[in-house]
Amino acid sequence: MDLIRHLRLFVVVAEELHFGNAAARLGMAQPPLSQRVKRLEEELGVRLFDRSSRQVRLTEAGRLLLTEARDLVARADRVRELMARAGGDGAAGLRIGVPPDLGGTAVAALLAALREADPPLRPALTEMCTADQVRALADGELDGGVIRHPAGAAGLTYGPMLVQHPGVLLPADDPLAEFSSVHLADLATRPLVLLPRESEPGLHEETLTDCRRHGYVPGEVHPAAHPQFTLGLVMSGTAVAFGPRAEQPGVVWRPLLGDPLAWRVSAAWRRPGPAVEEFGAVAVRVLRENAGMIDDGAARARRIAHRPASGLLA
């Protein structure tokens, strides 16, 4: 058993005194969290929580363990930090998670900006979806991340919220490709490629809700985490997709009328410190300048008129 990992989980449950809230904060399902706490109790030979249908309370053994567990977890984090410095000739490491679809230009700009802002720092970027980033931040395996909202994770500090208004990617032979822009309802029942629910639960549900609200009910939803796979499905005519402008033979990108979709992103970290706070400031600047994101609430003005051909707003 990974004792430190189990103690991390125990600390969160002890702070929340609610397995559902603790699971949401950790970005994991409740059943495996309950199983790991039970396994920790079996390993230690004591009961840590009194559970009932109405409440969860720490036992005396749980209260005694909580202080020690926090200390052990902090010491383990300190050991990792020291080893990272030792392995890098004394330079500090900064472990950052980024979404798989952030884009090569934004990734390169983020690395360059972090190195410029703090030359001794050794930023290490890892491709990771929001659900995995939330778990890794809770476990101390990441120092910071760029996550999508709604993330549903407590215990994290968030940087300024940025918004990305995606357009729609269509097969080049789709009749809608003839228009300069597309209303969501124009997509009718076309199948949709979307980030997987298990990796981006908040964005997945919010996007489908916004689609239904604006008259688009996809006939089928195909999960895809990586941009190239998504483009392949669009090129083949299997489905349409939402995302930033893409230049790809066989695919046409069109803006969505009225910007009905708003994908929100921010930097996040669990343990405050100069390095991660510098990362948060740099990430905001890079995402604005290299990923087409804007400040939350800075809505773009767009003229709306009726499109005679479909009777929908255009």
Q: Kindly report, residue by residue over 74-97, the tens digit of the pLDDT.
A: 777 777 666 665 655 555 578 999
Supply the pTM of this predicted model. Answer: 0.67
Kindly indicate the confidence band of residue 40, based on its pLDDT and cuts at 50, 70 and 90. Answer: very high
Our CA dihedral for 273, 278, 280, 286, rounded to 10 degrees, sits at -170
Greater confidence (277 vs 174) lies with 174
Which strand (E) or helix (H) includes residue 192? strand 192-194
| Strands 294-295, 162-164: pairing kind | antiparallel
DSSP code, position 2: -
Report how far residue 302's alpha carbon sits from residue 167's, in angstroms, rounded to the nearest whole number. Answer: 14
What is the number of other CB atoms lying within 10 angstroms of the CB of residue 203?
A: 24
- pLDDT for 122: 80
**What is the set of domains in the chain, with CATH numbers?**
3-86 (1.10.10.10), 93-162+263-298 (3.40.190.10), 166-255 (3.40.190.10)
The CA distance from 209 to 36, in Å, is 34
DSSP H or E stretch at residue 279? helix 274-290
Residue 127 region by backbone torsions, left for phi larger than 0, else alpha for psi between -120 and 50, else beta: beta
Q: How far apart are CA 99 and CA 225, in angstroms?
A: 9
Task: Let me know: does 79 contact 118? Beta carbons within 8 Å.
Answer: no
